[in-house]
Chains A and B, each alone.
Chain A
């Protein structure tokens, strides 16, 4: 179902620290998961994705972990930079090209 929230959870880190952003998804039938970054006044920007047959995937400075048992997804950002400050959303898909359902989002603030 849709995710609705009245406020965004926040995470504040120091520049250079590692950040971990968590997401609980709702549909056990979801097969594909994506992390997006959204800056103020802009559309979501793809960061990294993972399919349900994997439990970890790494990109440049980012790692996504998937725990299907507890329906939990996390995004790890290494050596966080001020430019990483944004809202991060996880999204889940059940069938290819059908629809994406977004999580509630987390506001990441990186302090210099």
Chain B
């Protein structure tokens, strides 16, 4: 079946630094990839939608200069949290659309 690999699973970074999260579709080509953020005991909130080779579309209220998304190929999208602050600490989840929606295992980001 369709598999999406997301790395790292956990990351701790210092305030002010940047963190990159990778999302790869392993056995299919994803026409679209999605990035979600999830706070404890809350639902998944869509941050942005990206298509290969084009600029990402960000949801209202999501800072595009802070959450940089690169979708360089049909199998890889990256989310870079720039100048991270403690309030960016969250669970980030990617989803790739190819044969339906397939989700990654998530990345727990802690900014200290």
Chain A interfacial positions (CB closer than 8 Å to B): 2-8, 34, 36, 41-46, 49, 89, 97-105
Contact = CB atoms under 8 A, between A and B. Distances in A.
Interface residues of B, number: 25
DSSP class of B's interface residues: helix, strand, loop or mixed? Answer: strand
B1 to A, nearest CB: 9
Contacts, number: 61
Contact of A97 (B31, B46, B104): B31
25 contacts: A2-B43, A2-B59, A5-B41, A5-B42, A6-B41, A6-B42, A8-B41, A8-B42, A34-B101, A42-B106, A43-B4, A43-B105, A43-B106, A44-B103, A89-B43, A97-B31, A97-B32, A99-B49, A100-B95, A102-B36, A102-B43, A102-B44, A102-B45, A103-B43, A105-B43
Contacts of A45: 103
A9 to B, nearest CB: 10
